[in-house]
Structure 1
């Protein structure tokens, strides 16, 4: 069963869930360290990821589990490490700037994903899609400078700030995650791409829980008590993270990586709402303009795909 049309709704839902999860995780960050705040998305998300796989196998795939090639573990491990580092960098970016700016910097992942997917997977985009990506990056730059009129030297100084470095680096690692996840789905002997995506998700989250949990036990053991105390909010983070990742992984498995990441930029629109209404952060007109520019870039990129 090949589900070639599921990627668009899955990606839109993923963007909404990711914005929601990031907003909740930002609140957890007030009481947890960077590594502990990162761990909660895997620790509390692991039961959800495995439950999604079991339910899909029982209800949709007729309980016929496909063969898995050993290379899946390698690609899942690479995706897991990249996502852990990206998540930590994103949380650090929030500490330097606000929620919107931190998310905006990381949204350069759309451009970085397009380049990596072209080089590593041979995925090509139309000129109009590249124009859409460039428009989205322009929106990110508007957000990053807060609407100030600055020259090239000033722009370089802004991009050299810790928030920008962390956010852009997070975007690169999220792009690497996307490519690794896509490659991992090739190692599942099934024509059902959703099934392959859920298998990769379950394996990846399990490995992430082991890796970041072991690191926290080694370096920040006291954080486990704080994680337990925050279980109500941390549980929400895990639930939203696994549901969102299931949608992202489904998108990667059923469509070009770059296309999924481009459409995934709609997250910034949801970010606008969560930042203003959930985190009570003030929104400047220039920030709204930047977010709208990013959204326009998504529309251009979609138009360039010849979607039908």
Structure 2
């Protein structure tokens, strides 16, 4: 599918990935962003995109933004971005209901193409590198369970309502944005106390970190080049071939801030309830379409740390 001269809706387009996607798509398409700004930042929405502040779970908002003029919906909105939500039932039910309502509206007006931003957390604790066809999928966090439930609803609509779905399971996507994960968290902690850095868990958790620019480029590449013969529900892992430990992230951030703090640990092999200690996705399916990430995991971490420190 060509991604030029299209009418595109980006839900959650003020968020970390959504805003980056909106910025990329707005260079060649008419882009409408909808976001209730509960997690997003208004200033992140590109000036070239039209913006509607609204809740995607609301029928009123959906009727306003999902029309027959649309060519594609990019669904990045999430009711709660935190993996260890204090209200797990609300997080699960809100996200699933929102996606279901969006798909009902998409089906009603006849939009035939949907991009969904899922997560590696749907796999749970799986062998590494984890391929897209790994089973059984047994998420251990509410966030992962919600994403898997949303994938299931998307699959139903893809197979019964003439909708093509591109489903992307992300590794840890990083960007120079305050509040966006472990890197800005370490920067903020060291700005407050340059002598000591508290690290959740034991520091040996090891995962793949993907720069948001690579993430957006990969999505764009797949949507344009994936063969229609691949079926109505196409799932792709997005990540890097390398991993970075939490201790290594702490080292990189400290180096970029020219600090040498003492590390303190909260203990255990998980940073929080539902945390997967080690994660690396297979990206062979992505590579078969001719795409490779520009940044390794360490390089993505350093790039973001450097941009945050110099902001």
RCO greater where, 1 or 2, for CA within 8 Å and sep 6 or more? 1
Instruction: Report the TM-score, using the length of structure 2 for normalisation.
Output: 0.29
Answer 1 or 2: which has greater strand percent.
2
